[in-house]
Structure 1
Amino acid sequence: MIIDTIHHKRDHQYPYGETIRRALDYVMNLNTADMRSTVEFEGKNMYVMKQRPMTKLFEEQLAEAHACYADIHLVLEGEEWQGFASSSDLNYAVEDKLKQSDYILFEHVENEGRIRLLPGDFTVYWPGEIHRPNCHPAGSVNLVKLVVKIHRDLL
């Protein structure tokens, strides 16, 4: 997992790796106001989605993980809280669609940490890392964000 701000990207890019740097460079130059909901920039291997979710309380939002894709979550507008956790035999999966749709959902995860993201902040979750996006302690809050999906073959 990486947490950083896009404003410091140039200072901190050395640990990201080439693919993450390429993805961040692409979204930094993207006209997000006029973009379609999904834009492929390296085919199905790397694409970006513009999302406008209403946040939920942590207790209402399921955690997730992916086997094939890494995620970059970049907040454009609003405030997002995310949960993150390590794999554990005590995590409780409620839906496993890894083979069909590359996601598994968890109702409960052990030792979950939380982080607050403001506009310009981003996180990177590698394949297999559990994360709970689109949360806010106040419940429903408007959020605008980009989610970049990067296939593991590029990592």
Structure 2
Amino acid sequence: MIYGHIKDLASSFAWLPTPLKTAVEHLRTTDFAALPAGNYELQGNDIRVQVIDMLTRPLADARPEVHRQFIDVQFLVQGAEKIGVAADTGHNLVFSDQLAERDLLLYTDVDNESTLTMTPGSFAVFFPTDVHRPGCVVDQPQAIRKVVIKVRASLLA
């Protein structure tokens, strides 16, 4: 997992592999507040952009998730959100296996979870070994706008 702020992109994240650099550079140069919510292609099906408007929910109401084919680059545009994070130990109880259809594996719960607090401009990169539980409340439920850029993991090989 990588966590940072978009303002530090040039000074602290120049070492990122090209596909991830493409994703975070797109975050830095795009006005997502003006873009309609929806799905967009950045580099065909290899790098895709999701602009999401949602209401945050209690941590207990959100399912921890992992992806095997894609890396998530999550970016907060407006509001505040907590994201639960943990290493995928392979011992978590599966709630729903949607890997074949949506590259999504939901767990019932996860051990040794920490949380990140996302504020506007924050981004986090979740690899296939990183469990994450996005969209959780900071103080109380609130409307947020976030962007998730899906980067095909094999591009880093």
- Deviation sequence 1:115-137 (CA, Å, 0-9, x none): 10100000000123210000014
Structure 1 stretches (4+) deviating beyond 4 angstroms?
none
Q: Return the TM-score normalized by structure 1.
A: 0.93
**Alpha carbons 2:80, 2:138 under 8 Å: kept:** no
**Separation in 2, partners of 1:44, 1:62:** 26
Within a 5 Å distance, the mapping from 1:30-49 to structure 2 comes to 30-32=30-32, 33-35=34-36, 37-49=38-50
2:49 is matched by which residue type in structure 1? V
**Separation in 2, partners of 1:139, 1:105:** 24
Within a 5 Å distance, the mapping from 1:2-151 to structure 2 comes to 2-32=2-32, 33-35=34-36, 37-151=38-152
Structure 1 unaligned blocks of 5 or more: none
**Separation in 2, partners of 1:117, 1:55:** 12
**Separation in 1, partners of 2:102, 2:125:** 20
- Percent sequence identity over aligned pairs: 25
- Length, aligned pairs only: 155
2:54 is matched by which residue type in structure 1? P
Q: Return the TM-score normalized by structure 2.
A: 0.92
**Separation in 2, partners of 1:115, 1:78:** 14
Structure 2 unaligned blocks of 5 or more: none
> RMSD in angstroms over aligned alpha carbons?
1.4
2:59 is matched by which residue type in structure 1? F
The SS at the match of 2:55 is: coil
**Separation in 2, partners of 1:90, 1:41:** 35
**Separation in 2, partners of 1:36, 1:84:** 25
**Alpha carbons 1:79, 1:116 under 8 Å: kept:** yes
Q: Quote how far apart the aligned CAs of 1:139 are.
A: 4.3
2:119 is matched by which residue type in structure 1? L
**Separation in 2, partners of 1:137, 1:25:** 27
